[in-house]
Amino acid sequence: MTMAKVLTIAGSDSGGGAGIQADLKTFQELDTFGMSAITALTAQNTLGVHGVFPQSLEAIEAQIDAVLSDIGVDAVKTGMLFSAEIITLVAKKCKQYHVQNIVVDPVMVAKGGAVLLQDAATEALIKELLPIAAVITPNLPEAAKLLRTKEMETLEDMEKAAKELHKLGPKYVVLKGGHLKNGPAVDLLFDGEELHYLETERIETKHTHGTGCTYAAAIAAELAKGKSIKDSVQTAKLFITEAIRHSLSIGGGIGPTNHHAYKNSLL
């Protein structure tokens, strides 16, 4: 039996709700074979990030080489990359192995404010990784940083921003509206020509740790299975919505989403 293979290149979240752990759980739930290359360890729980320990370039390169030289991948998802040097390495490796279906979640800060991407690394992200991405999945603060503008506040601002982000080189842009102050949870998918709206009700919960990671991982898993970008993003939106609807009240702070909820919803 074969299985679609997905590699996440991201940071480890010891608390299990975001990063590598969220990605692998999502890959599993969507019936794909998950693999990982860890860029940084974080000591993290529902209360926040208590330590960040970047891995050496040598360790990151060895993990990627081990996976890609033998097993291969149908899609790669990137998350926390932390530094310009790590971004340069990841872009080089993706090119070397001719990786298709790269989903770039441009992770910059954790919900509590901890820095997951050094300021000086934004430039490397724009120059080296966005042009080889199939999809990028910025939230509103990340989009503002990438475009060097102020944060979008309306759906109209988001529409303009999605078009500007597309000019940075990715094939598709998914601009996430989770951070909009009011109204439903609307994301925009822009393919260079047409804007598509993915809209769900806004669910009342504080337990949203790892939403962005989980969403991008679900897109990557669906792409790996050979689904179109539009279908992949639609399934991912259902996956994250169910995960948020059934999010877990674990720990004393912002709890994680429930990665198993989507499968349950299909029963």
Ligand X SMILES: Nc1ncnc2c1ncn2[C@@H]1O[C@H](COP(=O)(O)OP(=O)(O)OP(=O)(O)O)[C@@H](O)[C@H]1O
Ligand Y SMILES: Cc1ncc(CO)c(N)n1
- Our finding on whether 16 is near ligand X (CB under 6 A) is no
Partner in contact with 19, chosen from ligand X, ligand Y, none, beta carbon below 5 to 8 Å by kind: ligand Y
Phi, psi for residue 147 in degrees, rounded to 5: -95, -5
Q: Is 212 a catalytic residue?
A: yes
**Positions in 228-257 near ligand X (CB under 6 A):** 237, 240-241, 244
Is position 55 an interface residue for ligand Y (rule: CB under 6 A)? Answer: no
Assess 128 for contact with ligand Y (CB under 6 A). no
176 is catalytic: yes
Work out how close the CB of 79 gets to ligand X at its nearest, in angstroms, rounded to a whole number.
Answer: 9
Cβ proximity to ligand X: between 61 and 151 the closer is: 151
| Secondary structure of the chain as H, E, C letters | CCCCEEEEEEEEECCCCCHHHHHHHHHHHCCCEEEEEEEEEEEEECCEEEEEEECCHHHHHHHHHHHHHHCCCCEEEECCCECHHHHHHHHHHHHHCCCCCEEECCCCECCCCCECECHHHHHHHHHHHHHHCCEECCCHHHHHHHHCCCCCCCHHHHHHHHHHHHCCCCCEEEEECCCCCCCCEEEEEECCCCEEEEEECCCCCCCCECHHHHHHHHHHHHHHCCCCHHHHHHHHHHHHHHHHHCCCCCCCCCCECCCCHHHHHHC
Residue span 120-159 as binding mask against ligand X, x where in contact by CB under 6 A, dash where not: -------------------x--------------------
9 binds, among ligand X, ligand Y, none (CB under 5 to 8 A by kind): none
211 is catalytic: yes
176 binds ligand X (CB under 6 A): yes
**253 included as an active-site residue:** no
Rounded to whole angstroms, how far apart are CA atoms 41 and 63? Answer: 14
Among 16, 19, 106, 170, binds ligand Y (CB under 6 A): 19
Among 28, 83, 97, 111, binds ligand X (CB under 6 A): 111
**Out of 18, 86, 133, 161, which residue is the one contacting ligand X (CB under 6 A)?**
18
CB 65, min distance to ligand X, A: 28
Q: Summarize as ranges the residues that interact with ligand X (CB under 6 A).
A: 18, 111, 139, 176-179, 185, 187, 200, 202-203, 208, 210-213, 215, 237, 240-241, 244
Q: Summarize as ranges the residues that interact with ligand Y (CB under 6 A).
A: 10-11, 13, 18-19, 42, 44, 79-80, 107, 110, 116, 210, 212-213
